[in-house]
Homo-oligomer: A and B are copies of this chain.
Amino acid sequence: MPSLNHRRADAVLTVLRPDGHPLVDTDVVVAQQGHEFLFGNIGFDFIALANAEDDAAEPPAFGGAPASSAAALADLWLDVFNAATLPFYWGRFEPVRGRPDTARLLRAAHWFADRGVVVKGHPLAWHTVCAPWLADLSTDEVADAQDARIRRDVADFAGVIDTWDVINEVVIMPVFDKEPNGLTRLAWDRGRIPTIRLAFDAARQTNPTATLLLNDFDMSTAYECLIEGVLEAGIQVDAIGLQSHMHQGYWGEEKTQRILDRFARFGLPLHLTESTLLSGDLMPAHIEDLNDHQVSSWPSTPEGEARQADEIERHYRTLVGHPAVQAATYWGITDAGAWLGAPAGLVRADGTPKPAYDTLRRLVKDEWWLAPTTLRTSSSGRVPVSGFRGTYSVDGVPFELAHDGEVVVRLEG
Contact = CB atoms under 8 A, between A and B. Distances in A.
Contact of A232 (B188, B221, B229): B229
Interface string A172-188: 10110000000000001
A289 B283 CA distance: 28
A226 interface: yes
Contact of A193 (B192, B194, B228, B262): B228
Contacts of A230: 229
Interface residues of A, number: 24
Contacts of A192: 224-225, 228
A201 B233 CA distance: 18
A131 B216 CA distance: 36
Contacts of A226: 225, 228-229
A43 to B, nearest CB: 31
Contacts of A262: 175
**Residues of A contacting B: mostly:** helix
A193 B229 contact: yes
B233 A229 contact: yes
A265 interface: yes
Contact of A225 (B171, B188, B194): B171
Contacts of A224: 174-175, 192, 222
A191 interface: yes
A291 interface: no
Contacts of A174: 224, 265
Interface string A260-275: 0010010000000000
Contacts of A228: 191-193, 226, 229
Interface in A146-193: 171-172, 174-175, 188, 191-193
Contacts of A175: 221, 224, 262
A220 interface: yes
A358 interface: no
A36 interface: no
Contacts of A265: 174, 188
A284 to B, nearest CB: 18
Interface in A212-226: 218, 220-226
A225 B231 CA distance: 12
A224 B176 CA distance: 13
Contacts of A221: 171-172, 175, 218, 222
Interface string A324-349: 00000000000000000000000000
With a 10 A CB-CB cut-off, give which of A172, A221, A222 has the most chain B CB atoms.
A221
Contacts of A193: 228-229, 232
Nearest to A192: B228
Instruction: Indicate the member of A192, A222, A225, A233 with the most B CB atoms within 10 Å.
Output: A225
A379 B223 CA distance: 65
A175 B222 CA distance: 12
A262 B177 CA distance: 12
A171 B225 CA distance: 7
Contacts of A222: 220-222, 224-225
25 contacts: A171-B221, A174-B224, A175-B221, A191-B228, A192-B224, A192-B225, A192-B228, A193-B228, A193-B229, A193-B232, A194-B232, A220-B220, A222-B222, A222-B224, A223-B225, A225-B225, A225-B226, A226-B228, A226-B229, A228-B229, A229-B229, A229-B230, A229-B232, A232-B232, A233-B233
Given A193-B232, A218-B221, A222-B224, 6 more contacts: A174-B224, A175-B221, A220-B220, A220-B222, A226-B228, A228-B229
